[in-house]
Each structure stands twice: as structure tokens, then as C-alpha cells.
């Protein structure tokens, strides 16, 4: 069962974080629904050609975050609860906003200038959607 995940050796982040991010993305976009069984630790490790320990760490962290649950004998599945997907999307939005703030600082923009740019982008996108 190929997972559709891509682990990059060139990515500076540890592999378990890359796995976590990709699991969260699959949940956030609805590829994996609440209650859906996900690849076993061994299967995902084999598919990605990484250590079982690496995948186990990712799954343990995902459990701590409430994204997945593991039941002995049944495997791991996406956690029930309507807020999992929206919570993941909220975290993703916050990461993008943090990057935008850092980029604005590099450009010498203050918060008012950044807010103005955000309003411009919002207006432009709204116009495009109404076309």
C-alpha cells in the first residue's frame, strides 16, 4: 500500500516531522477521514524506506496531538472529532502568517503596512472568485 508520502533527505527537518506534516495534511484536506484506518507503522516504514522507530515516533506525536488514535489489535486511525481537520488548517494558517510577518520584517514593513498588503490580497482574491 503506497502512502503517497515523500520524505526528502534534503529537507533539514527530521524525517518524523516530515511524516507528521504529511499525515496532518491528508487529514486537513479530507484525504483521510475520521475513523479511517491509516497505514501501519511497519507498512509506512517499508513504503518510505525509513526506520520503524522513525514512523513510531511520528505516530506517537500525532497521538499526543489528537490527530490519530491507536487501538491494540486494530491499528491506527484518524481521530474522531470534527475539529481535527479545522485545527490542523488553523495551525497551517498560523505558520503561514508567522512566515509573512518574518518576511515583512526583512522588508522593513511595520504591522500596519503588512495588514494593508493582506487587505489588498484579500480584495484581489475576492474579485477573482466573483468572476
Query: Would you give per-residue pLDDT tens digits along the chain (131 residues)?
Result: 456 888 988 999 999 999 999 999 899 888 999 999 999 999 999 999 999 999 999 999 999 999 999 998 889 999 997 567 788 788 889 999 999 999 999 999 999 999 999 999 999 988 888 87
89 and 55 inside one domain: no
Is residue 103 one of the residues assigned to a domain?
yes
From the number of C-beta atoms within 10 Å of its C-beta (0-12, 13-18, 19+), residue 111 rates as exposed
Is residue 3 one of the residues assigned to a domain?
no
Q: What is the CATH number of the domain that holds 77?
A: 1.10.10.10
Q: Is the pTM of this model over 0.75?
A: no
3-state secondary structure of 80: coil
Those residues whose C-beta lies under 8 Å from the C-beta of residue 92, and which sit 6 or more positions away, are 24, 28
The residue segments making up the domain with residue 123 are 84-130
Amino acid at each position: 500500500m503506497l502512502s503517497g508520502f515523500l520524505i526528502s533527505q534534503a529537507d533539514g527537518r527530521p524525517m518524523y516531522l516530515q511524516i507528521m506534516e504529511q499525515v496532518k495534511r491528508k487529514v486537513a484536506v479530507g484525504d483521510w477521514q475520521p475513523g479511517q484506518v491509516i497505514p501501519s507503522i511497519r507498512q509506512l516504514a517499508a513504503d518510505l524506506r525509513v526506520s520503524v522507530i522513525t514512523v513510531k515516533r511520528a505516530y506517537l506525536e500525532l497521538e499526543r496531538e489528537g490527530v490519530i488514535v491507536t487501538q491494540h489489535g486494530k491499528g491506527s486511525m484518524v481521530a474522531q472529532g470534527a475539529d481535527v481537520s479545522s485545527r490542523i488548517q488553523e495551525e497551517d494558517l498560523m505558520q503561514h502568517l508567522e512566515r509573512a510577518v518574518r518576511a515583512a520584517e526583512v522588508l522593513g514593513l511595520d504591522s500596519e503596512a503588512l495588514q494593508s498588503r493582506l487587505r489588498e490580497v484579500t480584495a484581489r482574491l475576492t474579485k477573482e472568485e466573483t468572476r
